[in-house]
Chains A and B, each alone.
Chain A
Amino acid sequence: MRPKEGQVRIPSGCAIAAVISRDGNRMSGEGMIHAMEPMHDRSNGLGGGFAGYGIYPEYKDFYALHLFFDSRDTRKACEAFLKTGFEICHSERIPTRKLPAITDEPIIWRYFVAPLQSVLRDLQLDEKEFVVRTVMRINTEMKGAYVFSSGKNMGTFKAVGFPEDVGVYYQLEEYAGYAWTAHGRYPTNTPGWWGGAHPFALLDYSVVHNGEISSYDANRRYIEMFGYQCTLQTDTEVITYIMDYLLRRQGLTLNEAAGVIAAPFWETIDRKTDLVDKEKHIYLRTLFPSLLITGPFSIVLGFEGGLMALNDRLKLRSMVVGEKDDRVYIASEEAAIRRIEPDVENVWSPAGGEPVVIRVKEGVQL
């Protein structure tokens, strides 16, 4: 039998796209579907997905857990498990549309949950850490159940198929968010199931990624010391955990985290004349050497209130950024941006290792 993704490591090429409104204006998910169309050949029909931010305003205080199940029994068992630690405010099947292009679908549900305070007190954990541990536990221990989205007021939607079809399948035109990311995948092998599609998400962090990182096992073996378990053996999974570790657990800023994973070369650091900046980079590289990511990557990290685009330090993958009014677009190819915004302005290619952070303006209610 052919192994499923997670049992083998599958390298992939990819296409990514993203959009954010700095004014916090909500956009339908349909735009992202169209953005992926001109990059059709960057995917091979074996994976596509989207992340939307600000899509669940009515449940914004609850963690939105999106799960795949292989059977009704698994779902029942998983729900029973969830109830031991969470109040489930609302649960439902995620609405989908039958398409000939999307087959082998699992059972897909979402739960809007809040951790039980009594459980948090017993375990001496904060809310987010408890959610992370629950996600890790389900994904590693509960056969046939898989949490693929776990943030507040955001959600990811992914499947095996071309991204344009995946977007239609999940009826993304029904959702409105202030930021969206999209991904089309070109894996070298058949993944066998839907977990390995992107985006990859933990809490409100989501990552879409194009590339194959050469540092994978160094990164994986380091991050697994801190309770993360890489069940899928994909680059995107480990990048997501690294970002959660650096941003949430270590409290680094986005720029500092970029200075860890796409660290400037030593010769660049040695030449810096701003001594505070120089010290900072020496410190970050010395402290987190195992979280340096090498090999080609372009990623878009989604988080509450913003996006960060980042290329590997040699810029071995294409990525462009453009603007129009309150919106900022990011994509593997300019064509993707022009499909949805023909009048895009200020298109540029960020340099390798140069993070581009776009946030919704302060004070805007998300």
Chain B
Amino acid sequence: MNGIYMTPEFDVIRSDARCTACRVCQRQCANGVHSFLAEKGVMVSDETKCVNCQRCVSFCPARALKIVRNDNRLRENANWDQDTIREIYKQANSGGVLLSSMGNPKPLPVYWDKILINASQVTNPPIDPLREPMETRVFLGKKPEKVTRGADGNLITTLPPQIELTMPVLFSAMSYGSISYNAHAALAKAATELGILYNTGEGGLHEDFYPYGAHTVVQVASGRFGVHEKYLETGAAIEIKMGQGAKPGIGGHMAGAEIVGDVSRTRMIPEGTDAISPAPHHDIYSIEDLRQLVYSLKEATRYRKPVIVKVAAVHNIAAIASGVARSGADIIAIDGFRGGTGAAPTRIRDNVGIPIELALAAVDQRLRDEGIRGRVSLIAGGSIRSAADVVKALALGADACYVATAALLALGCHLCRTCQSGKCNWGIATQEPELVKRLDPDRGSERLVNLMNAWRHEIMELMGGMGINSVEALRGNRLMLRGVGLTQKELEILGISHAGE
């Protein structure tokens, strides 16, 4: 069959004056873009294979390379843009569902960028975090509704299990399989050093990482890969994954070709079999079924681990979260539509789900209206890009934020959005040993620690500016936020006033 020809998406621009034909680019590119033309003694490029991951650019010792957008254009059309037409060609050629990776890249509203933060002037003082204590410690978990006292009148100070974090951030779920052993190692080490948690995702927990258990969220998803008693016992918390922001309503599929060696053993499935996570949990077709799984996991771990229920932000998220809060969950994680993924159908990723800002605001308010906000902690995720996003999420009502894409960037990801190929040149989203070893877990961990320490300082600066010296007083403090350029409806859902009000 003759496919429709498509011009490559990128141009590889090589400066002949600078290139020494050292062939570093060739060795660095797993996609096979660069090759050496011996007869002419020059490097040549096959742009059709380029994903613009910037690996060759970063490693070229002569700084001879740059990757630019191919400026060959189809005739301009405001309705039929280039990407839409290319997708039509791809599907006409292949007959397949289009796959994409990482978060929704479409120009949909980013509410974080339309929300501004307050600062103290005159009537109360800003607090300087360099001079005064500034607290970022948080506890996630169920808070009892009533204080209890013993016969002696003293407080009974036992609490349901809580997760203690030194700052209101956790690394969110990325499975071993979707990312590499070294990426997991870096996340586990960094979480431990930072006093926060990382999350196994659905791939089970590699035996080497059990020592990091106190800083690990172990996930139980619809495929139940890698779930066994010791796994549950090892984690600091257990997460039931009901949905993912990048692909609400569907499961996952990892090709058998990638289920090899340790990945197969950790997932507890035979080598070479496809790892299919069903769209629903087949033991959860309703809210009362979720309650049973929550309590099964609690029974299995003797009520010593908080249970997180992770749901994608969808239209009816407030009612769903309210139901989950009444189902024994200790923590609800809400994942917005910009959340990342190792692979998702493009149509789902780009069209399903709602922004985390609106979902979070709606859930926090609903739980308060129902008087049950204290029963659960809320984690917001789905493209938290900076300390400012964290502060805004907290002020809207989150107890903490899940961060994944930013963490991958710290590991060297250049957001080429081609994870599904399994050929990540940065050693992150790949299982090929030659590529995996490109990521040094110790250096990766160091950069993750740097990033989070930087964010923590920024969170403290922003809080101090508002005259707040503890994250507890920031949480749900919507008076500290103002919207710019938002409609009355958007402001109403976010529960904030417009700037100037």
User: Which residues does chain B contribute within 8 Å of A188, judged by CB atoms?
Assistant: 123
Verify if B209 is at the interface (C-beta below 8 Å from A): no
* Shortest CB distance A189–B (Å): 11
A213 CA to B479 CA in the complex, in Å? 12
Known contacts A9-B479, A265-B133; decide if A250 and B473 are in contact (CB<8 Å): no
- The answer to whether B241 has its CB under 8 Å from any CB of chain A is no
Binary flags per residue of A201-217, CB closer than 8 Å to B gives 1, else 0:
00000000001111111
How big is the A interface, by class? Answer: 35 or more
Contact (Cβ within 8 A) A216 B477: yes
A251 within 8 A of B: yes
B475 within 8 A of A: yes
A266 to B162 Cα, complex, angstroms: 16
Which residues from B are CB-within-8-Å of A265?
Answer: 133, 135
Binds A, one of B68-76, B124-132, B176-184, B211-219: B124-132
Interface check A116, CB cutoff 8 A: no
Closest chain A CB from B174 CB (angstroms) = 29
Q: Is B381 part of the contact surface with A, judged by Cβ < 8 Å?
A: no
| Contact partners of B125 in chain A: CB under 8 A | 296, 316
CA distance A293 to B467 in the complex (A): 11
Contact B473 A292 (CB under 8 A): yes
| Contact flag A296-B124 (CB < 8 Å), given A221-B368, A252-B147, A289-B139 | yes
Q: Are A13 and B123 in contact (CB under 8 A)?
A: yes
Name the A residues within 8 Å of B106 (CB-CB).
none
B1: Cβ under 8 A from any A Cβ: no
- B35 close to chain A: CB less than 8 A: no
A286 at the interface (CB under 8 A from B): yes
Q: Which residue of B138, B147, B157 is within 8 Å of A250 (Cβ)?
A: B147
Looking at the complex, which one of B120, B133, B155, B474 makes contact with A218 (CB distance below 8 Å)? B474
Contact A280 B473 (CB under 8 A): no
Looking at A214, A221, A284, which has the most chain B CB atoms within 10 Å of its CB? A214
Query: At the interface, yes or no: B480 with Cβ under 8 Å from chain A?
Result: yes
Stretch at the interface among A37-45, A168-176, A222-230, A355-363: A222-230
Interface 0/1 of B64-107, CB less than 8 Å to A: 00000000000000000000000000000000000000000000
Contact B477 A218 (CB under 8 A): yes
Residue A267, interface by CB 8 Å: yes
Instruction: Report Cα–Cα, A284/B468, bound state, in Å.
Output: 19
**Contact of A218 with B472 in the complex, beta carbons under 8 Å:** yes
- Count, A-B residue pairs, CB within 8 A: 111
Provide the bound-state CA to CA distance between A10 and B480, in Å: 15
Q: Are the C-beta atoms of A294 and B147 separated by less than 8 Å?
A: no
Select which of B123, B149, B472 is within 8 A of A251 by beta carbon.
Answer: B149
Interface size class of B (residues with CB under 8 A): 35 or more
Is the beta-carbon distance between A283 and B120 smaller than 8 angstroms? no
Decide if A314 is an interface residue (CB 8 Å cutoff). yes
B475 near A290 with CB under 8 A, answer: yes
Query: B123: which of A11, A226, A289 is its contact (CB, 8 Å)?
Result: A11
Nearest-CB distance from B393 to chain A (Å)? 14
Whether A287 pairs with B468 at a CB distance below 8 angstroms is no
Q: Which residue of B lies closest to A212 (CB)?
A: B124
Question: Nearest chain A CB to B36's CB is how many angstroms away?
Answer: 60
Nearest to B364 among chain A residues (CB) is: A221
Beyond A279-B157, A295-B124, 20 extra complex contacts between A and B, CB < 8 Å: A11-B124, A211-B124, A214-B120, A214-B468, A214-B473, A217-B476, A218-B472, A218-B473, A222-B373, A256-B155, A276-B154, A280-B155, A289-B139, A289-B143, A289-B475, A290-B476, A292-B472, A293-B473, A294-B467, A314-B127
A-B contact pairs, 5 of them (CB 8 A): A188-B123, A221-B477, A283-B155, A292-B472, A316-B125
- For the complex of A and B, the 7 pairs showing the least CB-CB separation, nearest first, are A215-B473, A217-B479, A214-B467, A289-B472, A283-B157, A218-B477, A294-B473
Task: Please report A residues at the B interface, Cβ cutoff 8 Å.
Answer: 9, 11-13, 188, 211-219, 221-222, 224-226, 250-252, 256, 263, 265-267, 276, 279-280, 282-290, 292-296, 313-314, 316
